[in-house]
């Protein structure tokens, strides 16, 4: 009774944490490759740090340099140079704060927002090709697993890092 015919009442394997970590690491590496290829198409490719700063600003603008540095876990001089490069590329606007004239507010420019929209569209198209090639049962399992993973991350991460605008748009 323990032996089952393949495909009929098949006994499901319950992977260990290490097996899941191995699979997840492989998927993350493939996503990095897809993400990198999506960035290469742009006329103004950004570093990972610059892109991360843009995602943070998108979720929480306006933001000052200190707050951006905290969100990125970077030193003020590094964040300032990063913002200089984003501003030079036309992706960032700086303005004096209305509440504190000594403080500079950072916002994505329209060009910066457009860059993120185009980047996400390219990423989604690359992922769509992969997902459409999967059988529907595998897509359902992927969806269920990713939903559970997202919920677990949301419970473990500080508020705002695992939720918000970034979640639904970061593809």
Which architecture, in CATH terms, is 17-169? Orthogonal Bundle (1.10)
Q: Provide the pLDDT confidence category of residue 159 given band limits of 50, 70 and 90.
A: low
Neighbours of 62 (CB within 10 A): 17
| pLDDT tens digits for range 75-86 | 989 999 999 999
How far apart CA 147 and CA 169 sit, in angstroms, is 15
Q: What is the mean pLDDT of residues 136-146?
A: 92
- Residue 90, sorted as left (phi over 0), alpha (psi -120 to 50) or beta, turns out to be left
pTM, to two decimals: 0.69
């Amino acid at each position: 009774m323990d032996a089952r015919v393949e495909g009929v009442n098949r006994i499901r394997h319950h992977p260990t944490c290490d097996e899941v970590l191995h699979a997840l690491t492989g998927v993350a590496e493939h996503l990095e490759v897809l993400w990198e290829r999506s960035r290469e198409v742009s006329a103004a490719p950004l570093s990972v740090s610059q892109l991360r700063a843009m995602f943070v600003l998108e979720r929480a603008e306006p933001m000052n340099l200190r707050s951006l540095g905290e969100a990125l876990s970077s030193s003020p001089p590094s964040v300032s140079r990063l913002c200089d490069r984003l501003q030079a590329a036309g992706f960032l606007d700086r303005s004096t704060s209305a509440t504190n004239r000594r403080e500079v507010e950072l916002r994505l420019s329209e060009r910066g927002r457009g860059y993120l929209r185009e980047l996400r569209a390219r990423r989604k198209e690359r992922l769509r090709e992969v997902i459409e090639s999967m059988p529907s049962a595998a897509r359902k399992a992927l969806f269920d697993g990713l939903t559970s993973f997202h919920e677990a991350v949301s419970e473990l991460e500080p508020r705002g890092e695992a939720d918000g605008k970034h979640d639904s748009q970061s593809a």
